[in-house]
Amino acid sequence: MATTLKALRAGLAANLATITSIQTSGYILSNPTPPTAWVTYDDPLVEFDLTFGRGGDKWFLVVEVFVPLTTDRGGQARLDPYLEGSGATSVKAAIESDTTLGGACESCRCTHIDGVGDYQLGERGAMLGFRAHVEIITTS
């Protein structure tokens, strides 16, 4: 199954849209309306040739999630449900709700979350957020 980065982004965005309380995008937004989740690159981005003869690749993407940092406790209380390992607002559960990303890959999983802290989102100002790392296996 040959795939494109565009298809992987679209699949992740569709999975994230299962969380009804959050704006989602397969791409970084210039003017988001938090709470927001979008897809961006990880480092490394891709490991080519998992098997001989272009048999498959491993992609590494990141879902970044942001909520307004309006008060000390308020922002944290809004972010916490997205950090859970399961449930209707869990980013991990949403990422893995269709592990083929609409047929774009063989499998995907959220491996870990890091980067919990303050972020500056342009004119939106201070946000509280985190990075959910996603590992995706594709075949050629």
> Where do the domains of the chain lie, and which CATH numbers do they carry?
5-139 (3.30.70.1700)
Q: Is the pLDDT of residue 1 over 60?
A: no
Q: Tokens at residue 140, please? A: 């050629």
Q: What is the pLDDT of residues 11-56, one digit of tens each?
A: 999 999 999 999 999 999 988 999 999 999 999 999 998 777 777 8
What pLDDT sits at residue 2? Answer: 59
Is residue 71 exposed (0-12), middle (13-18) or buried (19+ Cβ within 10 Å)? exposed
pTM of the model: 0.94
Give the mean pLDDT of 128-138: 97
| DSSP H helix total and E strand total for the chain | 3, 5
pLDDT (tens digit, 9 = 90+) per residue, 86-100?
999 999 999 999 999
Based on its alpha-carbon atoms, the radius of gyration of the chain, rounded to whole angstroms, reads 15
pLDDT in tens, 71-91: 778 999 999 999 999 999 999
Q: Are residues 63 and 134 in contact, defined by beta-carbon separation less than 8 angstroms?
A: yes
